[in-house]
């Protein structure tokens, strides 16, 4: 008996029209760390057709506990290159554009030179994050943004909500202030951990192999469902 291929396994629960539509969509992912890398993985396995990957970093040993592309064999390699190769190994038909740079006001123009159907903000730098979100709002590009997943263990408290309904997250608090200053006061969908950060004596932000990946997977699910819903109503 012939085994179904990867696309055929998706069709019974999503439908042929939805899967065909996803193969025509372009998703921008900015930040390929513990959250962003797992979102890329899920989107590739859902057969999203086109990717724009943005990250200026290389994999380091400190990434091995949580980032999908981090292996001893990839240390020192650009995250964009490693994740591009992984997407194409999953789906050779995908088109992948990479920008091996930090997202900021200077690099944004080149990054947005290609039309985008949806975006995922998975960067940490406050100023750059605020610029990306305000740019996406101005361009009317649907998106979701990742809030902090560090210093947390439990994945049961990870939800999708509006940034302005979040609590206990230092990054979210700073982002609310920054965006209000830019005139953004609502409708900023975020993947967010409701749990209070664990207090510890270490001088760095601790992280696990559970919370960041789960946030990335939930964001990817949100992206897929948003794209399917938009396609169905267009």
Residues facing residue 29 across a β-bridge: 53, 120
Judge whether 55 and 120 are in contact, CB under 8 Å.
Answer: no
Q: Span 192-208, mean pLDDT?
A: 92
Instruction: With H, G, I as helix, E, B as strand and everything else as coil, classify residue 95.
Output: strand
> What pLDDT score does 139 carry?
96
Express as a percent the part of the chain with pLDDT over 90: 86
> What pLDDT score does 3 carry?
85
Judge whether 131 and 104 are in contact, CB under 8 Å.
Answer: yes
Judge whether 35 and 209 are in contact, CB under 8 Å.
Answer: no
Q: Report the mean per-residue pLDDT for the chain.
A: 95
In CATH, the architecture of 6-233 is: 3-Layer(aba) Sandwich (3.40)
Helix (H) or strand (E) holding 144: strand 143-146
């Amino acid at each position: 008996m012939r085994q179904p291929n990867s696309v055929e396994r998706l069709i019974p629960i999503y439908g042929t029209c939805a899967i065909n539509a996803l193969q025509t969509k372009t998703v921008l992912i900015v930040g390929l760390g513990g959250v962003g890398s797992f979102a890329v993985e899920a989107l590739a396995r859902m057969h999203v057709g086109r990717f724009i990957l943005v990250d200026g970093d290389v994999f380091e040993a400190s990434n091995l506990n949580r980032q999908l592309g981090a292996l001893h064999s990839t240390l020192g390699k650009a995250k964009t290159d490693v994740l591009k190769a992984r997407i194409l190994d999953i789906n050779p038909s995908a088109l992948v554009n990479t920008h091996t740079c930090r997202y900021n006001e200077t690099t944004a123009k080149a990054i947005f030179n290609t039309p985008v159907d949806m975006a995922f903000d998975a960067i940490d730098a406050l100023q750059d994050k605020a610029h990306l979100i305000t740019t996406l709002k101005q361009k009317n590009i649907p998106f979701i943004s990742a809030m902090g997943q560090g210093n947390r263990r439990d994945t049961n408290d990870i939800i999708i909500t509006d940034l302005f309904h979040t609590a206990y997250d230092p990054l979210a608090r700073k982002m609310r202030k920054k965006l209000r200053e830019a005139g953004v006061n609502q409708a900023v969908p975020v993947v967010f951990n409701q749990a209070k950060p664990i207090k510890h004596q270490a001088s760095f932000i601790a992280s696990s192999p559970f919370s960041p990946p789960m946030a990335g997977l939930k964001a990817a699910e949100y992206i897929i469902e948003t794209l399917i819903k938009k396609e169905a109503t267009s």
